[in-house]
């Protein structure tokens, strides 16, 4: 009886492994998925008050529509904009992120994305770089009788 049970278990595992292998490496994952072309955007060094916009392109490689329910920046200086409509299987979408470049110094911020993706319902993408102070206009020296007083 014990041998029959082991034999049955081994056959079941082999059948399961055969089915998983038969789907192949390119088989779509069940449900919705979210896969980004890049997960970090590096601005490099940019000027204060410069363009702080960037885009993160993603694809739904699953079998169901992908719905992004929220995208939240790690602070008020990082503002994401995401598609509100479902992304069909095989289609791409874009999450736009705008960083407020009035702040001078290093950038290391994140955007947390919440969706129905079976592979990653909570996903974090990042922005990094450095904002240099804008050059200031030189002050013209005063001329005239009150210049030295």
CATH number for 98: 2.60.40.10
Does residue 71 belong to any structural domain of this protein?
yes
Strand 92-99's sheet: what is its strand order?
35-36, 53-59, 92-99, 78-81
Predicted TM-score of the model (pTM): 0.72
Does residue 124 belong to any structural domain of this protein?
yes
- Summarize the confidence of residues 51-68 as an average pLDDT: 97
CB of 73 within 8 A of CB of 95?
no
Counting the structural domains of the chain, the total is: 1
Range of the domain at 128: 35-132
Does residue 109 belong to any structural domain of this protein?
yes
Left if phi > 0, otherwise alpha if psi is -120 to 50, otherwise beta: which for 3? alpha
Question: ∠ CA(113), CA(116), CA(119), 5° rounding?
Answer: 85
Does residue 140 belong to any structural domain of this protein?
no
Does residue 9 belong to any structural domain of this protein?
no
- % of residues, the chain, pLDDT over 90: 68
């Amino acid at each position: 009886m014990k041998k029959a049970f082991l034999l049955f278990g081994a056959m079941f595992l082999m059948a399961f492994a055969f089915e998983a292998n038969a789907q192949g490496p390119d088989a779509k994952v069940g449900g919705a998925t979210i896969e980004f072309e890049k997960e970090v955007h590096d601005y490099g060094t940019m000027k204060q008050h410069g363009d702080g916009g960037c885009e993160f392109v993603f694809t739904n490689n699953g079998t169901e529509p992908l719905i992004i329910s929220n995208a939240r920046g790690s602070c008020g200086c990082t503002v994401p904009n995401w598609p509100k409509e479902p992304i069909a299987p095989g289609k791409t979408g874009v999450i736009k992120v705008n960083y407020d470049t009035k702040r001078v110094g290093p950038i290391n911020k994140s955007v947390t994305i919440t969706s129905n993706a079976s592979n990653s319902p909570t996903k974090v993408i990042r922005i990094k770089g450095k904002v240099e102070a804008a050059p200031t206009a030189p002050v013209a020296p005063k001329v005239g009788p009150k210049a030295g007083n």
